[in-house]
Structure formats: structure tokens, C-alpha cells
A and B are shown apart, each in its own frame.
Chain A
Amino acid sequence: MAYSFPEEVLEHVFSFLSSPRDRNAVSLVCKSWYEIERWCRHRIFVGNCYAVSPEIVIRRFPELRAVEMKGKPHFADFNLVPEGWGAYAYPWIAAMAEAYPFLEEIKLKRMVVTDESLELISKSYKNFKSLVLTSCEGFTTDGLASIAANCRHLKELDLRESEVEDLSGHWLSHFPDSCTSLVSLNMSCLGSEVSFSALERLVARSPNLRTLRLNRAVPLEKLANLVRHAPQLVELGTGAYSAEIRSDTFSSLADAFSACKQLKALSGFWDVVPSYLPAVYSACSGITSLNLSYAAIPSSDLVKLISQCQNLQRLWVLDYIEDSGLEALAASCKDLQELRVFPSDPFGAEPNVSLTEQGLVSVSEGCPKLESVLYFCRQMSNAALIAIARSRPNFIRFRLCIIEPQAADYLTLEPLDAGFGAIVENCKELRRLSMSGLLTDRVFKYIGTHAKKLEMLSIAFAGDSDLGLHHVLSGCDSLRKLEIRDCPFGDKALLANAAKLETMRSLWMSSCSVSFGACKLLAQKMPRLNVEVIDERGPPDSRLESCSVERVYVYRTVASRQRLDIPDFVWTLDEDSSMRYS
């Protein structure tokens, strides 16, 4: 074309585009842009590992250096997806080992990763730099040993919240003495004790170490030694934060912390002995992120620490903080952006702490930058939600879990429709919403009408009828992920909005009223959707077609609908429209 730029120029321009969405948009402009773009794309993000196949990815993008991928649906975190459902990393790792010898980064979330995969990673990529496994499972510390031993230029090993079979702490000792490249190490999910001297030597020879998250087994008495070797740390996760009270331990710890001028984030704090908390005070003015969600200590001790952190932006804490503590938080931390309050006694019959809706109201009123909330509590009212919505129209993420399912407004005994309605009406930029409490179809009407930027919605024990689901599917223009459990939503709304489902990443429905017949029909109508019926009661055609399925997971895909790793409790529609059994 006479008017087009030379390839090199376009490539250079594209190199400034980092977001996958921008890259995707660029590739749709015309065929030549598609070609140029695909040759210079180095990072991809695959939101659902079954939406595409390794072969398709490799064929399109020959020069990848970083791959990020997610597997199981979010509700797998709460045991709603049976063991063995899928999301195996190995086929991807194996295919990429062949295709991308220069791959540097792999980031996986909710996938099953085996030791075999880890070993393959460690041996296939000469320049491998970063492995981040969030909420993954299926591997042991032996796999970690391969990574430590073979990845000579490893910068990052982050095992956030993964379930690792802990055979021994010996894996850490496999880092060779020549490895000095570590920037980030997060082993907080591991149970076993690693060799402290190996850990100390590793930290001492890693001048670029910025993030160090220890596991609970690292005793407090030894923390000072470690920290002293790494005063450049930006993020530190302690081990167990308890020791016999001794002044030398304390002062040594306090000294070590005062040398850390760059510290921005603190976490860990298992088994906290409050008397040791002042040891971190010298770092508090720089702290922007504090994860105290394992610290089972009273509100007064929490507040003493938090009020030292005037620049706090993110706080994760247990409900021991109580309403009074949240009020103090609202008064001292005006930069707060994200708050998560976890329940200390989720299954207890009676509240064990004095944490109510008032705490959330205080923080919403007092913290002008608050945009992201995850809050567990035992009572809520429409009045509180309306007040919160009015104070804080800048919410982006609002996740409220009232512990008792279908709990009504405790003041008026009405449903909480008006309250959540106020949230979606006022918070025009809301991208993520999780609801709880007593909710009728009305709240879904509000959501469909107002929540135009909503991308992810989580619903449980809510609604009266299909109309609820219909409002959401027809109204929420930006919806990408919808997860529903135990709601009386069924076939009509689903089928009436079948086309919508192709514009979304996925839909999860469990313990609802979706019939097997509807699933088949949906799959027949929409060839680019994979409709997975996940039912542990045996083949769905051994029951009436009008029978509800236990779970249905619908996602768009350009890969074959027959994933090879399908277990025997999952049924999908075959190419010839018959339901396939494995």
C-alpha cells in the first residue's frame, strides 16, 4: 500500500502498546497490521486456558517471551469445582517448551501444575526469569527444587496462596551459590522449615532482592538477621511473629527495620505477640500496604500499628479490628484505597467481635480515595449501603459478604435491594460486585439498568426468578464474568440471552434451575460456546431432560469443544450435537 508505514516503523509504534486489549485492537485494523503485530507480540494473557489451544497460540504468536494464564473458574476457590475438573498446565508448558526457547515469564492462576511441568520449565528455557503461581496446586517442593537448581537467571519465584505438597524445606538449598539474580521470593504458603543458613546466604547474595515473603516456619528471632542482609527490601512478609519477650530480640529487630528505608509493604504476622509490633514502627511512615489478615490480636493493638501508617493505601485485616478500629483507620489513613476485612470466626453462631456495617460506613465516609472493598460482616442495612454509596461514588470493586445467607436488612427486615441498587446507581465506574443478603429480582433490575461498566458479578442465594438473570444478561453491557450459585435462575433467561454469552469470558451456575435440555439447546445454538455440564450424579441423560444440572460452566472458545482432559463428571456437546461422554 502506498500510504502505509514500513513494517519496522509500525513495529516500533506497537512496542509502546503494553495492554493486551490495545494490542488486540491493533491487530484487527487490517491484515498487514495483524501480521506485523503478531510477530512482535511478546506478552500474552489468556483469561481462560480452554478458550484457546496451545497450537493456535503458537501458530499466531511465534515470538512470545511472557505468558499469563488462568484456569479454573473463581468459585473453585470455595470448593465448588470438583477435584479433577481440569486446568492442567502441562500441555501448555510442553508445547511452549518446543516453541519458545526464549520464554522468560510464566504466570499461572488456578491451574494444576505438576513437578514434571516445573522440571520442564527449569530445563527448557535458558533465560527463564519469572515464575508466579497464584492459587495453583499439584506440585511438591521437589518441583521447586528443580526451578531453584536449574534457572540460572531466576528473578522471581512467587507461590502466592498455592497448595504445595510440602515434602521438605530442602528445596531452597538447591539455589546455587552462583545465583545472585533474585528480585522476588514468596514462599509464604509453604509449611516446612527451610534451612535458615541457606536462606540467609541466599538473601545476602541477592543485592536486587526487593520482595521477600517468608513462611510461618521462619522464627521471629531470626528475622532480624535476614532483614539486615537486605535493607533494600520493598516488600517483606514475616514468618511467625511471636517469640518470648526479650529486649535483645526486640532491639535487634527494631534496628534491622530502621535500616530498611524503602519498605512499602508488610505481611505475614502469624501468631502475633503484640509487644513486638513496635519494632516495625520506624518503617510505618513509608508503608503503603499492610496485610494483617493472619494477625489474631485485639483491635487496640491493630490500631496502634495502623495509626502509625499515615500513607497506607491498602489494608487487609481480620474483623478483630472491629468498628472502633475502622473508625480510627478512617481518621488516620486518608490515602486508603483498598480495604479487606476477613472473618475470624466464619462458622460461629454468634458474632465474636463488634464489627458491623458501621465500620464500613466510617471508612467510606472518612477515606476519600477508597475504591476497593471486601467486607465480611454479620448484619447490614439498606440505610448503611445507601450512605456508603453516597459517600463513595468512586468504588471500583465492592464485595460484601453478609455471613448468614439471605440475611435481610436487620433494621427493617426488608430485602437489601435498595442498598445494592444505590451502590450501582452511584458508583458509575463499578467493575466488580459481589452481593449477599436477602435480594429479590428488583436488585437485578437496578444492576441491569445502572451497572454499565460492571465486568464481574458474583451472586449467591438471591433472586426470585429468571427475570433476575435476564436483567443482568441484557443490561450489563461490559459483563465478562458472571458466577451464580444457589439462585432460582433457569432456562429461559439463559436461552433468551444466548448471544450475550459469546461476548463474555464465562458464566458459572451451580445449584440453580438450569435443565439439561436447555444446556443442550444452548450448545446447539452457539457453536462457539463450550457448555460444560458438571454433574457428579452420573450421565445427565439418565435423568429427565427437564432435570436441573448440578453445575453448568459456559465459556467462549476458539479451540475444539472437546478438551482432551475432560473428566468423567463433565459433559459437553459434541460437534455432531450429541452429548459426549468420556
Chain B
Amino acid sequence: MEASLGLLIGEQNAAVEKEYIGDELELGLGLSLGNGGGEKGAYARILTAKDFPNGFACGTKRERAAAHQISAASSSPSHSAAVRQVVGWPPVRSYRMTSLLNQAKASNAVGEDESSKKKMNHGGHLGFVKVNMDGLPIGRKLDLNAHKTYQTLAKALEEMFFNPTRAGKEPSAKLLDGSSDFVLTYEDKEGDWMLVGDVPWGMFLNTVKRLRIMRTSEANGLAPKSHERNEKQKSKLI
């Protein structure tokens, strides 16, 4: 289908530009042939309308110009340190993302907040688990989906249970490094109690049923149980 303006396709931008401007005077203002020959289409975080709640006239062009300055100054894309998070990129469907979130082998769970907030229907982990601490009759509930690493989980628990303003309580200590009077343990799908922190985060998410902040003195039997079990499994192989 040839162009409705009977356009001759010239090699240069300039030739095409002349034709365009000749017939589309009413739209001449504000139009350009994109960013001109040299630019490679600048990329930075793509701002969306939500970034401009009061509206932003001609936002896109200005953003792009600004972004070009930034990306020109920074290192080339192939050496960038992180994948900048953009809506819908990389193009992986959300049900796949949530499935990966629950099964991730890597120690850091991945996935945008959006995908975990979306209602998960792929056998997704519900997120809330009960947490009990030795010596406290009443437990709390914690949303595991709000965390991506053991560190943030431990911090949240420390804040929940070891509030330094409470009288009579020892001031915190890190629950994960063995320096506290308490250790963090969890009950897994098989009903065994394990030390938190042994397995990759994703695997942990997949198998944890509830948490218990146990006194260190009682937790002695727990140590490298995950290794023991792997050994047992290997010996049962057909």
C-alpha cells in the first residue's frame, strides 16, 4: 500500500521531511523526525503518567532529551550494573513471574512488586505465616511475600519481637548470625524444624509453613539438618 500522499521514498531523512512538511502544514508545529540522525533513541527509566500526577505537557519528548543526557554520560548499556525496571519489560507474563518467585533457586528472589501483589493463582504461596517466639504466648503473623532476602525477614522479626522499648527484654541481636539468645527456625512442608538461612530464599519460600523464634539452648539439634537429609535422600535413590 503506498502512502496516501504519493510519497517518494528517498534515502535521506531530509527528502522525506520536505514531503511531509509540504502536505501536513497543520501539524507542522511540534513535529520533528524524531531525535534526528545521530541519536540512538535514548533510554533510561521510562517514566509513566503516575510520575506526574499534576499532568505534564509534552512530557515524553522532554523526558527523552533529558534521558539522553544521562545515558550519554553513563557507561554503555552492555556493561550496566542492573536491569532498569520498566513496566512490562522484559516481556514475561505475570503468571510465569509468580511461579519463578516461588521456585527461585537463586538466593535472591526476583520479581517485580506488581507480580506479587497481583492475585496469584498458580499454586502461589499465600504469604502470611505464623510466627511464635519461645516465652511469648501470643504469636504474630508475617507476610513473607513482602521480603526478598533473609536479611529483611530477620530485621522485620527483630523489630516485631525485640522492640527495645519493651521493659525486661534483651535488646535485639541478629537472629541469623548466632550471636543472640534466640535463633530463627521454621517448620517445613514435611513437618521438620530447620534453621532459617540454609537454603536459597526461593526454596525456603516454597517450603516454609511457619516460623519459630527458638531459644538457642533448645536449638542445638538443628544445625546442618538440610545436609543430612540430602545425604539420606541420595542413599535412597533407585
Looking at chain A's contact residues, the main secondary structure is loop
Interface residues of A in 410-437 (CB under 8 A from B): 410, 413, 415
Report the nearest B residue to A399, measured CB to CB: B91
Residue numbers in B under 8 Å from A270 (CB-CB): 99, 103, 123
Q: Does B77 contact A492, Cβ atoms closer than 8 Å?
A: no
Residue numbers in B under 8 Å from A348 (CB-CB): 83, 106, 108, 110
Instruction: For residue A480, give the distance in angstroms from its CB to the closest CB of chain B.
Output: 13
When chains A and B are docked, how far (Å) is the Cα of A495 from the Cα of B100? 43
Interface residues of A in 531-549 (CB under 8 A from B): 535-538, 542-544, 546-548
Number of chain A interface residues as a range: 35 or more
Residue numbers in A under 8 Å from B88 (CB-CB): 75, 78-80, 485
Q: Does A470 contact B (CB under 8 A)?
A: yes
When chains A and B are docked, how far (Å) is the Cα of A63 from the Cα of B220? 75
| Known contacts A474-B3, A499-B4, A537-B49, A515 near B31 by CB under 8 Å | yes
| Known contacts A189-B122, A546-B30, A275 near B233 by CB under 8 Å | yes
Q: Does A349 contact B83, Cβ atoms closer than 8 Å?
A: yes
| Known contacts A490-B31, A492-B20, A548 near B90 by CB under 8 Å | no
For chains A and B in complex, what number of residue pairs have CB atoms within 8 angstroms?
A: 252
| Known contacts A191-B120, A438-B40, A293 near B3 by CB under 8 Å | no
Number of chain B interface residues as a range: 35 or more
Q: Does A347 contact B (CB under 8 A)?
A: yes
Q: Does A440 contact B40, Cβ atoms closer than 8 Å?
A: yes
Q: Does B85 contact A (CB under 8 A)?
A: yes
The interface bits of chain B over 183-212 (1 if a CB of A lies within 8 angstroms of the residue's CB, else 0) are: 000000010000000000010001000000
When chains A and B are docked, how far (Å) is the Cα of A457 from the Cα of B4? 22
| Known contacts A413-B76, A461-B43, A79 near B92 by CB under 8 Å | no
| Known contacts A78-B91, A348-B83, A485-B88, A547 near B123 by CB under 8 Å | no
Residue numbers in B under 8 Å from A489 (CB-CB): 34
Residue numbers in A under 8 Å from B156 (CB-CB): none
When chains A and B are docked, how far (Å) is the Cα of A547 from the Cα of B138? 58
Report the nearest B residue to A501, measured CB to CB: B1
Q: Does A403 contact B (CB under 8 A)?
A: yes
When chains A and B are docked, how far (Å) is the Cα of A474 from the Cα of B9? 9
Of the candidates B1, B13, B59, B93, the one whose C-beta lies within 8 Å of that of A548 is B59
Segment touching A, from B50-58, B128-136, B169-177: B50-58
Instruction: For residue B224, give the distance in angstroms from its CB to the closest CB of chain A.
Output: 19
Q: Does B121 contact A189, Cβ atoms closer than 8 Å?
A: yes
| Known contacts A405-B43, A544-B58, A517 near B27 by CB under 8 Å | yes
Residue numbers in A under 8 Å from B236 (CB-CB): 245-247
Q: Does B64 contact A (CB under 8 A)?
A: yes
Instruction: For residue B126, give the distance in angstroms from its CB to the closest CB of chain A.
Output: 9
Q: Does A191 contact B122, Cβ atoms closer than 8 Å?
A: yes
Instruction: For residue B106, give the distance in angstroms from its CB to the closest CB of chain A.
Output: 5
Binding site for A on B (CB under 8 A): 1-5, 7, 9, 13, 16, 20, 24, 26-27, 29-37, 39-41, 43, 46, 48-50, 52, 55-61, 64, 76-78, 80-97, 99-100, 103-106, 108, 110-112, 114, 118-124, 190, 202, 206, 233, 236-238
* Sample of 24 A–B contacts (CB below 8 Å): A80-B88, A190-B121, A191-B124, A294-B103, A344-B106, A346-B83, A346-B90, A404-B78, A408-B78, A464-B35, A465-B36, A466-B34, A467-B13, A468-B34, A470-B3, A474-B2, A474-B7, A486-B86, A492-B20, A513-B34, A513-B60, A536-B49, A543-B58, A548-B60
Nearest 10 pairs of A and B residues by beta carbon: A216-B123, A546-B30, A465-B34, A78-B88, A488-B34, A548-B60, A349-B82, A496-B3, A465-B33, A492-B20
Binding site for B on A (CB under 8 A): 75, 77-80, 135, 161, 163-166, 189-191, 215-217, 240, 244-247, 250-251, 270-271, 275, 278, 293-294, 296, 320, 342-349, 352, 376, 379, 401, 403-408, 410, 413, 415, 438, 440, 460-468, 470, 474, 477, 485-492, 495-500, 503, 511-513, 515, 517-518, 521, 525, 535-538, 542-544, 546-548, 550
